Amino acid sequence: MKYSLTAMIAVFAAMSTASVANAADGWGIENEQIVEIEATVVDIACSLTKDCPPNCGDGKRQLGLLTADGKLRVATKGASIFAGAARELIPYCGKIVFADGLLIENPAMTIFMVQNLRISKSEKLQPATAFDTEWAKANGKADEWYRSDPAVKQVIEADGVFGIKGLAPKP
């Protein structure tokens, strides 16, 4: 499989502009479907094991979307660059939402990317970018949160971008 620079730039451009979409943007990912699903926000670990802390784990656990026909979709990605969907969905723990995004039924794993949310069909879709707002509130403004995040910096400064101390990119 080849990963061209142009294709990657296009993907990241889509990632940064997805927030203004009125409906989900396709990414051209194999097995993706653009869908808006009506589902209840659930704590996945709770649904599988009955270990159920209050409020779906307060954003510390992966969340899922449980549809009326009993399908559990793991909300793997939000609309913020390099960020998941837990912060987007945690305000709606136990509630029904309309999640607009990409259902990717890869034979290896079925995942869901939440791009926009609303709590009723009559409302306008809102971009699933709460991560950016909350990160900035906690850490201050940064052009690229992922390079400024304290936890990331600690790991990368300790072991380098390749994860092995002393191994660095060629100049």
With b for 16 or more beta-carbon neighbours within 10 A and e for fewer, the 26-46 pattern comes to ebeeeebeeebbebbbbbbbb
Pairing state between β 72-77 and 126-127: unpaired
Judge contact between 107 and 77, C-beta under 8 A: no
For 171, residues 6+ apart whose C-beta sits below 8 A from its C-beta are none
Applying the rule CB under 8 A, the residues between 106 and 145 that interact with another protein are 106, 108-111, 113, 131, 145
What tokens does 94 get?
Answer: 């136990």
> Of the candidates 13, 22, 105, 119, which one interacts with another protein according to CB under 8 A?
105
Residues that bind another protein (rule: CB under 8 A) add up to a total of 68
Among 30, 54, 138, 140, contact with another protein (rule: CB under 8 A): 30
- Tokens 């409020």 belong to residue: 55
* Under rule CB under 8 A, residue 155 binds another protein: yes
Binding site for another protein (CB under 8 A): 1, 3, 8, 11-12, 27, 29-30, 40, 42, 44-53, 57, 59-62, 66, 68, 70-74, 76-77, 80, 82-87, 94-96, 104-106, 108-111, 113, 131, 145-146, 149, 151-152, 155-156, 161-164, 167, 169-171
